[in-house]
Amino acid sequence: MNQKKEYLDRCVELAAEAYQFLKNSTVKDRAAFMYAVADKIEKLGPELIETANQESALPFPRLEGEKGRTIGQWRSYADAITTGLYTEARIDLANPEKGKNDIRKYSIGIGPVVVFGASNFPFAFSTAGGDTASAIAAGCPVIVKGHSGHQKTSSIMAAVILETVQEFGWPEGVFGHVLGNEVEGTNTKIGAYLVGHELIKAVGFTGSYWGGKSLFDIANQRKEPIPVFAEMGSINPVFAFSHILEENPEQLAKDYAASLTLGVGQFCTNPGLFIAVKGDGLNKFKKALQEAVIGISPAKMLNQGIYDHFEKNKSLLSNQPSVEVLSESNTLAENGQGRPTVVHTNAKNFLENEILSEEVFGPFGLLIEADTYEEVEKIAKELNGQLTITFAGTSADVKEHLNIFNIIKDKAGRLLFNGMPTGVEVVYAMQHGGPFPSSTDPRFTSVGPDSVKRFVRPLSFQNWPNEFLPEELKNENTLGIQRIVNGSSTQNPINSQS
Ligand code: NAP
């Protein structure tokens, strides 16, 4: 399915008009809208889950959980904006005796945002997902380019948001929904056209490196470059150290196998790389891992394209010199099913062969057996930017390997001390986004209320009469938000006599 250029232009123009409305809305207005969207998603009947299941092959319990998470995102981001956290109001009152002006700054929505739905999260990272919720929270209209893998699900979610727009009497361009591949009569992808459109001011994306990087390049080559917040996944290394491998190798192996194969390995936080030094502990770990992986059945992947990618990349890595299969599920996979597989190699080989650092999106792990901790340190130094890195160890391990702990701080957005990286909590302290190439801007997160920060920009007012200021900066502080006034954090109004 293709779309006419005129249709896409109209969507963007409506979004630009709606921005003129949204930029003058308050955090309370937007929070009310967001709670209403959450309530409507909550009320959606079984059709939503059934449709998503048919389109994505994701099982019902997973989809139920993801629906709950999506509702939680709208509500928690709404709660967060009403505190004023992302309004970032700062007021420095005039002091004529010292020659100081009245200067007031706050964060305003950046403008219309294009959001790309992700294949692996039909709810939480798609049409009504975190990018859309955080952009609207920031005061930005959104145009969603729905993912081709779940268009019906996307349409159900879009209808919920559009209905809320109508009920609130907001301009229709607050939310736009586009499906399809190319702009009619051209070879231009719809997403590429939208990102290149002069009225679009930012982009939210979750998907492949090549997709995210292409859109990032388009955005940077525009006459007016715009920010692209692309989360492009990573191999999420797990570094395991001697004390933990000696203490409980079996449990570590079980946990690793479970995380590697969770959701058929189709998570951007899938721990695709495991690194440890040879020894008794690692031998026991390998044996337990072999047993665990053998018993995990293959399962259907999201779609044929993702399955084909998985098979292609799995054989690319598995067929590299000095790479051997350590363990595979003992059940053969049918077409479309991802078969859990772990391969292994030595550190020298890994360091010399860049292909071994490629992401294999699916239930596939690479175990690196190093001879020494010097080799482990080298691997840490050579790593690309990652969403997560896990330090599997005891406190004694950390003390013995502070150098490695220090290096990995530069390489990831989230550092785990034990546990596994799959399962990304939607909380204030979450960081989901790391140094390039895991994402295009490591300063921001795409999960948690802080994701709102991606879609605002600071705007300062100098010496404006109170009546013309946005509600957030007026003396009265009727919104009751937290502000920094003359250097002190307060919710109090400003006494205009003072
Ligand atoms: P994708 O190919 O990157 O596509 C994601 C979205 O971006 C789609 O809507 C796609 O539109 C659009 N897009 C991609 N490249 C584009 C371009 N050059 N110009 C304009 N629009 C573009 O990701 P996917 O379909 O979800 O899966 C493909 C692979 O991505 C997987 O096999 C896996 O390796 C990886 N992946 C990673 C993550 C992660 O968490 N980081 C998540 C899912 C997938 P069209 O459909 O019209 O092309």
Q: Which of 114, 200, 208 to mutate to test the pocket of ligand 1 (most atoms within 8 A of CB)?
A: 208
Residue 443 confidence (pLDDT) above 80 = yes
pTM, two decimals, is 0.96
- 461 part of a folded domain: no
User: Mean per-residue pLDDT for 220-230?
Assistant: 98
Mark whether 222 and 156 lie in a shared domain: yes
Is the CB of 145 within 6 Å of ligand 1? Answer: yes
pLDDT score at 233: 85
Is the CB of 440 within 6 Å of ligand 1? Answer: no
Residue 317 confidence (pLDDT) above 90 = yes
Mark whether 308 and 377 lie in a shared domain: yes
- 393 part of a folded domain: yes
* 79: Cα separation from own chain's centroid: 20
Confidence of residue 497 (pLDDT cuts 50, 70, 90): very low
Rounded CA gap, 188 and 281, in Å? Answer: 54
What's the 31 CA to ligand 1 centre distance in angstroms? 30
Angle, CA 231 vertex, CA 377 and CA 381 arms, to 5°: 10
Three-class SS of residue 324? strand
Mark whether 183 and 223 lie in a shared domain: yes
Is the CB of 208 within 6 Å of ligand 1? Answer: yes
User: Mean per-residue pLDDT for 35-59?
Assistant: 97
Are 208 and 30 in contact by the 8 Å Cβ rule? The answer is no
Considering 11, 55, 66, 231, which one is annotated as catalytic? 231
What's the 59 CA to ligand 1 centre distance in angstroms? 21
Residue 208 confidence (pLDDT) above 50 = yes
Residue 498 confidence (pLDDT) above 50 = no
pLDDT score at 188: 97
CATH code of 38's domain? 3.40.605.10
What's the 323 CA to ligand 1 centre distance in angstroms? 28
- 361 part of a folded domain: yes
What's the 11 CA to ligand 1 centre distance in angstroms? 22
User: Catalytic site residue 268?
Assistant: yes
- 282 part of a folded domain: yes
Considering 140, 268, 328, 471, which one is annotated as catalytic? 268
Mark whether 222 and 249 lie in a shared domain: no
Mark whether 210 and 288 lie in a shared domain: no
Is the CB of 119 within 6 Å of ligand 1? Answer: yes
Maximum Cα–Cα distance for the chain, whole Å?
81
Say how many domains are in the chain.
Answer: 2
Residue 394 CB burial class (10 angstroms; 0-12, 13-18, ≥19): middle
Are 181 and 189 in contact by the 8 Å Cβ rule? The answer is yes
What's the 436 CA to ligand 1 centre distance in angstroms? 17
Count of helices and strands (H, E) across the chain? 16, 19
Per-residue pLDDT of 322-367, as tens digits, reads 999 999 999 999 999 999 999 999 999 999 999 999 999 999 999 9
What's the 66 CA to ligand 1 centre distance in angstroms? 20
Per-residue pLDDT of 173-207, as tens digits, reads 999 999 999 999 999 999 999 999 999 999 999 99
What's the 208 CA to ligand 1 centre distance in angstroms? 5
Mark whether 252 and 228 lie in a shared domain: no
Is the CB of 340 within 6 Å of ligand 1? Answer: no
**DSSP label of 75:** H
Mark whether 26 and 164 lie in a shared domain: yes
Ligand 1 atom closest to residue 189's alpha carbon, by position in its atom list: 20
Mean pLDDT across the chain: 97
Strand 364-370 and strand 273-277: the pairing is parallel
Per-residue pLDDT of 369-401, as tens digits, reads 999 999 999 999 999 999 999 999 999 999 999
Per-residue pLDDT of 49-70, as tens digits, reads 999 999 999 999 999 999 999 9
Rounded CA gap, 392 and 45, in Å? Answer: 42
Is the CB of 300 within 6 Å of ligand 1? Answer: no
Three-class SS of residue 209? helix
Mark whether 378 and 264 lie in a shared domain: yes
Single out the residue of 77, 93, 73 nearest to residue 85, CA to CA: 77
Ligand 1 atom closest to residue 145's alpha carbon, by position in its atom list: 9
Q: How many CB atoms lie within 10 A of CB 343?
A: 21
Which residue's CA lies nearest to atom 23 of ligand 1? 207
- 133 part of a folded domain: yes
Mark whether 222 and 248 lie in a shared domain: no
CATH code of 313's domain? 3.40.309.10
User: Catalytic site residue 231?
Assistant: yes
Mark whether 209 and 293 lie in a shared domain: no
- 480 part of a folded domain: no
- 90 part of a folded domain: yes
Residue 496 confidence (pLDDT) above 80 = no
Ligand 1 atom closest to residue 117's alpha carbon, by position in its atom list: 9
Are 176 and 127 in contact by the 8 Å Cβ rule? The answer is no
Single out the residue of 117, 71, 137 nearest to residue 452, CA to CA: 137
Residue-number span of the structural domain to which 287 is assigned: 238-417
Mark whether 219 and 322 lie in a shared domain: no
Mark whether 332 and 385 lie in a shared domain: yes
Q: Crossing angle for the helix pair 280-294 and 249-261, nearest 10 degrees?
A: 40
- 493 part of a folded domain: no
Confidence of residue 211 (pLDDT cuts 50, 70, 90): very high
Is the CB of 393 within 6 Å of ligand 1? Answer: no
Per-residue pLDDT of 106-153, as tens digits, reads 999 999 999 999 999 999 999 999 999 999 999 999 999 999 999 999
